[in-house]
Structure 1
Amino acid sequence: MTLPAVLLAAACTAVPAGVLLLVLRRRLLVVTVDGYSMLPTLRPGERVLVRRVPADRAAPGAIAVLRHPAGPGTWLPLPPEAVREDGRIYTIKRLAALAGDPVPSGLGPGVKLDPGGTVPPGCLLVLGDNPDQSIDSRQLGPIPAEYLVGVVTRRLSR
């Protein structure tokens, strides 16, 4: 095989691999858990693989990664479980209910949602598995659905 043929073959192999890598980066995200809000399900230091999905493709009960609704310049403090990767602030919670679903009981008096009512359009409710260490919809109320980044598909490390 001549050198130009070898280079062409290598380029033809590298381009699809590069495209595949780009597609995977847009669909998948690796996040490291930092905090105790999801104990005992997830521990600090665990890494999880997240598939990016819109809220209408998520299901209640799934573990979700969300852009955190707090941050610099907002009135909400960043909780200890906020995960910082790639300069972004994420939080990991369980999806309790999506828009139109019944509101679960036990959210707290400041939420202004009646148990048995429905989650407002464009919103979702999230809860940490460890309520004593979690800032979630019990304190914050409904979270805008556009904050959902994706759902955890598997653990990468323990």
Structure 2
Amino acid sequence: MNPPVILLAAALLSAVAGVTALLVLRRRLLVVTVDGHSMRPTLEPGDRVLVRRGSAARARAGAITVLRHPAGPGTWLPLPPEAVGEGGQIYTIKRLAAVPGDRVPGGLGPGTALASGTAVPPGCLLVLGDNPAQSVDSRQLGLIPAEYFVGVVARRLGR
């Protein structure tokens, strides 16, 4: 082979490898912008976070998580239209307070339907905002289906 053909083949191979790596990363990582006050002071409106996609089965209590919001009437979390993310997907960010098998913590406040000390059943998550006065979470909604789990916040990227 002559040198220009080799260089062209190497450049093409490099480009294919780069695109492949980008596609793999996109399937594993997600960037979400915080919109709301439910996670203050930990996260502020406008903060961007890097989310590592994964299974709810691997998540641990205490982690800040991103949940997918199912669109349509009768869904588990009423959100304003401005909360719609790219591609029409709606996400919400909450702290994972308990996973299946964990006990429901006490002190969730009056009006919650969750009995303190009972075990979280399989397929459910208990999520709480860090700012209870500004958060719609398991205190009002009860347990959240684990199927809505998207991933865990790996780090804050800033604004």
TM-score, normalised relative to structure 1: 0.90
Distance 2:83 2:107 in 1: 23
Shift of 1:84: 2.1
Q: Counterpart of 2:73?
A: 73
SS in structure 2 opposite 1:78?
coil
The letter of the residue matching 1:67 is R
Aligned pair count reads 157
Q: Counterpart of 1:60?
A: 61
SS in structure 1 opposite 2:158?
coil
Distance 1:130 1:81 in 2: 20
TM-score, normalised relative to structure 2: 0.90
> CA, structure 1 residues 111+58, in 2 after alignment: closer, same or farther (shift >3 Å)?
same
- Which sections of structure 2, spanning at least 5 residues, go unmatched? none
Q: Is the 8 A contact 1:51 1:153 kept in 2?
A: yes
Distance 2:83 2:59 in 1: 21
Q: Counterpart of 1:134?
A: 135
Counting only pairs closer than 5 Å after superposition, residues 4-83 of structure 1 correspond to structure 2 as: 4-69=5-70, 71-74=71-74, 76-78=77-79, 82=83
- Which sections of structure 1, spanning at least 5 residues, go unmatched? none
Distance 2:134 2:82 in 1: 8
